[in-house]
Structure 1
Amino acid sequence: MTRVMDADGRLPKDAVDEVLPLFDDPPVGGVQLTARIRNRTSWLTMLQNMEFWAPSAICQFARAATATVSLAGNGQFTRLKHACP
């Protein structure tokens, strides 16, 4: 398994423990976590979080409803397979 993060991204401490069991299902090739702005204590950072999270969440809900997949930005986990033994 590999993970993709932006340089300023941070994963929750239990992220790998939560994601790893999902890969026990052979058809699962990737998992996308929701990204959030961490310092949501001012109006500016709360609005940044809404701007960042809302469109992403709407797209993920639509993908779930249509059984489609897209991995983008922070929080991607993908299955690694070797082409040669």
Structure 2
Amino acid sequence: MPKEKIRHLMNFLRHYTVFKNESNKFAFEQKLNHITNNQTTMGMEELIIYRAEQRGKIDGKAEEKYETARAMKEYNYPIADIIKITKLTAQEIEKL
């Protein structure tokens, strides 16, 4: 199972599993720590921040492609070369 799915599952279990008996909760936490090798998983806030940072990186990379394509277009590079370098489509490049 991918690490991210395990993290989501662990967060779900920690936040939505309710025990009436404290000793059961303690035993659950101990077993969970054993399964995950005592590695703490992200809390919901950390997970939201992490995802926002990852989204920002993706958006930044996309914008960088467009900036490169604009500059290449200004210097009259052939569309085929711009496509090879930026991996943008001809329609995306024409819109710039």
Greater share of helix residues, 1 or 2? 2
TM-score between the two structures when normalised by the length of structure 2 = 0.28
TM-score between the two structures when normalised by the length of structure 1 = 0.31
Greater share of strand residues, 1 or 2? 1
Give the number of the structure with larger relative contact order, counting CA–CA contacts within 8 Å between residues 6 or more apart: 1
